[in-house]
Amino acid sequence: MTAERSLLATLEAGCSAPVGALAEVAEGDNGDELWLRAIVGDVSGAPTIRMSMTGSLDDAARIGADLATEMLAEGAAELMAATS
């Protein structure tokens, strides 16, 4: 939940933004890992930006912010602005 909220906050995505995020805890080689997947869609309903990131459970907020930053670099802000 922390990673998902951090991603949404960094994207400045409100409740009507075409953004989805899903964080899961998975067993990794060095213990549990956090997997965060996110998508920013467009008005046609076709997914446009789809990315993921993994890391330590202790870094949940950073993982969310880092993934959002990567999505912004790929045009997520412009995509979300086009749907408002």
Query: Any idea what the CATH number is for the domain that residue 19 is in?
Result: 3.30.160.40
* pTM to 2 decimal places: 0.88
Specify the pLDDT at position 83: 63
Q: What is the pLDDT of residues 44-70, one digit of tens each?
A: 777 789 999 999 999 999 999 999 999
3-state secondary structure of 72: helix
Average pLDDT over residues 25-37: 89
How would you list the strands of the sheet with 47-56, edge to edge? Answer: 19-28, 31-41, 47-56
**Could you give phi then psi for residue 64, rounded to 5 degrees?**
-60, -45
Angle between helices 60-73 and 2-11 (to 10 degrees): 30
Domain range enclosing 32: 2-82
Count of domains for the chain: 1
Q: What is the pLDDT of residues 5-15, one digit of tens each?
A: 999 999 999 88
Count of residues for the chain? 84
Residue 69: name the closest of 45, 53, 48, 46 by CA.
53
